[in-house]
Amino acid sequence: QINGIDAELFSPDDVRRVAPIYNFSADARFPVFGGIWQGRAGTARHDAVAWGYARAASRLGVDIIQNCEITDFIVEGGRCRGVQTSRGAIRAERIGMAVAGHSSVLAAKAGFRLPINSYAL
């Protein structure tokens, strides 16, 4: 609420009132201890958003290569000049990195330390 977000702290009973489908038993795999309610909040389908970005990028001339693992970066003179992939090397003037939960792991391969940590769940 300090930042202008109209969030409310919910007790387990409050959560039960708005989301009775959850398992509230004491032996539930993921027990419900409470929640945060934001009445004006929403969700987006992450896959639909990603494909929307991909379609727009493709229209702008970006080459999208699917099912291709980046295994390393090509760094020359302190600059990233390309990537090494499971299908060979790709060189470019600019490299964008959009890798979901493994950003810090991949960035470390290029010698960058991001202010985040990636962990396997």
Query: Do the beta carbons of residue 91 and residue 85 sit within 8 Å?
Result: no
Q: How confident is the model at residue 121 (pLDDT cuts 50, 70, 90)?
A: low
Both tokens assigned to 110: 């290029």
Measured in whole angstroms, how far is the alpha carbon of residue 63 from the centre of its chain?
A: 21
89 within some domain: yes
Looking at residue 19, its pLDDT comes to 93
Q: Which residue has the higher pLDDT, 5 or 20?
A: 20
Total domains in the chain come to 2
pLDDT at 120 over 70: no
Could you tell me the residue range of the domain that residue 17 belongs to?
Answer: 7-38
Q: Say if 1 falls within a structural domain.
A: no
Encode pLDDT of 23-56 as tens digits.
999 889 988 999 999 888 888 888 899 899 999 9
- Asked whether the whole model's pTM tops 0.75, one would answer no
**Is there a domain that residue 53 lies in?**
no
Instruction: Let me know if residue 28 belongs to a domain.
Output: yes
For residue 110, give the DSSP letter. T
